[in-house]
Chains A and B, each alone.
Chain A
Amino acid sequence: AQTVTQSQPEMSVQEAETVTLSCTYDTSESNYYLFWYKQPPSRQMILVIRQEAYKQQNATENRFSVNFQKAAKSFSLKISDSQLGDTAMYFCAFMKGIYGGSQGNLIFGKGTKLSVKP
């Protein structure tokens, strides 16, 4: 069975600074996908970034980037130039892949609550 671990229940960062959220996972699969989802106080779940395990290159979406270390089974999220609107719960998630696609179900970590301070 796959597991996802987020070891930082809470973090805070000053506005405009950089913060890194940690995530490790355990799987015996070679084909899988990793995600970071953001949940602001509105409760809406928003996809921040995704990574395909068979791609060496780290995914980047504007101020958000990941450090994907496949051998170490680590998938951290870096937020640059933090903004007040980044205040949210962040969830790391895993999805098993199958040939040509995915198994479909997400396995989530317990989340990291990020506070951006002015």
Chain B
Amino acid sequence: NAGVTQTPKFQVLKTGQSMTLQCAQDMNHEYMSWYRQDPGMGLRLIHYSVGAGITDQGEVPNGYNVSRSTTEDFPLRLLSAAPSQTSVYFCASSYNRDRANYGYTFGSGTRLTVV
């Protein structure tokens, strides 16, 4: 059981480039979400999904795009990378929204640097 898998683990981008951070889970979890972690800021919610075909914005959605075509995958797209998007990105999932209060399963994170 792999849990939540994030790829890549590290990435360096140039300003203006686009890329997709991958997140996949094999636990048949309906609820998936993306957070970014910045020094001194804790984790902040970017986007989330309560099931395939359904996504919604979190606290800091600007500059990011998501889609959920399957239950397993929830990719995060950076449309035109900016230095302000330098951060560590975490994907997290739970069985469903109602049971998220039992805790998430987190991926191991992607450290993104935009130069």
Interface residues of A (CB under 8 A from B): 4, 9, 33, 35, 42-45, 47, 50, 52, 91, 95, 97-98, 100-111
Contact = CB atoms under 8 A, between A and B. Distances in A.
A111 B35 CA distance: 15
B103 A35 contact: yes
Contacts of B31: 104
A108 B96 CA distance: 20
A91 B100 contact: no
B109 A104 contact: no
A97 B45 contact: no
A102 B98 contact: yes
Contact of A45 (B41, B44, B92): B92
B94 A104 contact: yes
A45 B106 contact: yes
Interface residues of B, number: 28
B104 to A, nearest CB: 7
B43 interface: yes
A29 B53 CA distance: 29
Contact of B41 (A43, A103, A110): A110
Contact of B101 (A42, A97, A107, A111): A97
Contact of A91 (B43, B48, B88, B98): B43
Interface string B79-91: 0000000001010
Nearest to A111: B42
Contact of B43 (A50, A97, A106): A106
Given A43-B109, A44-B108, A47-B104, A102 B40 contact: no
Contacts of A9: 40
A102 B42 contact: no
Contacts of A35: 103
